[in-house]
Amino acid sequence: MGLTDAIASAFSLLLSGDAALWRIVWVSLGTTLAALALAAPISVLAGYAIAVYRFRGRRLVIWLAQATLAIPTVLIGLLLYLMLTRHGPLGGLGWLFTQRGIIAGQFLIALPVLVAFTLAAVQSADPRYAETAIAHGASRWRVMATLLYEVRFGVMAAVITGFGRVISEVGCALMVGGNIAGETRTMTTAIALETSKGEFAQGIALGMVLIVFALLMNGALMLLQGDAHAARGRI
């Protein structure tokens, strides 16, 4: 099959509502959103705490938060596989080769991304925001809410970056999920499988969906930033 034929077949699959293809899309999207929903609150709080509070070993924690961004996802998948296997310490959970296992892996992948980006966003914030809130007698939670609101676009960028890293990774999803059709087959593992078989139509179709997701997420952030800048200009 030539490139032109593969692309035509990919569009045909997308437009025809192919059940197998869209099941793969929903598995990918569902596990990714679940992982981010679990990781985001923990990561934002951790990133804020590391940026604001001074404690012994803080530099080491910052270094670890940034260094973990470079850990290959396949290594995370290997470690999680060893943890979830029948003889592993978490084998009793029965999460190996399930969507829960994929979510756990994606959670671990998203965590350092969200922590590092939130940390950077809070560190770059104007300290006068927190000082003004404290001067008005705001509680610690109120100060945190004020500061996070001011850096909300940085936090949104962290979530979008985490979304992109999680939904596009293949190593961890393949090792922990097992690439089971209709259950744990994600877009990236399906692309790898179909390409290895010489079947490119579904892979191209899923690649198009990934690109659309990336464009939509970044487009939404740009629109929100544009609305905020416009509102500031009217003040």
pLDDT, tens only, 117-142: 999 999 888 777 777 777 778 788 88
Residue 116 lies inside a defined structural domain of this protein? yes
CATH number for 58: 1.10.3720.10
Residue 7 lies inside a defined structural domain of this protein? no
Whether the predicted pLDDT of 234 surpasses 50: no
* Residue 50 confidence (pLDDT): 93
Residue 3 lies inside a defined structural domain of this protein? no
Alpha helix ranges (H) inside the chain? 3-16, 19-52, 58-67, 73-84, 99-123, 127-135, 140-150, 152-168, 171-177, 187-196, 201-234
Number of domains in the chain: 1
Residue 77 lies inside a defined structural domain of this protein? yes
Residue 235 lies inside a defined structural domain of this protein? no
* Residue 189 confidence (pLDDT): 94
Average pLDDT along the chain:
87
Residue 206 lies inside a defined structural domain of this protein? yes
Domain of 77? 20-225
Quickly state the pLDDT bin for 231 (edges 50, 70, 90): very low
Residue 131 lies inside a defined structural domain of this protein? yes
What average pLDDT does this structure show over 54-62?
Answer: 90
* Residue 226 confidence (pLDDT): 63
Sign of CA dihedral 218, 113, 69, 204: negative
Residue 230 lies inside a defined structural domain of this protein? no
String of b and e for 46-83 (b: at least 16 CB within 10 Å)?
A: bbbbbbbeeeeeeeebbeebeebeeeebeebbebbbeb
Nearest CA-CA partner of 125 in 153, 159, 151: 151
Quickly state the pLDDT bin for 36 (edges 50, 70, 90): very high
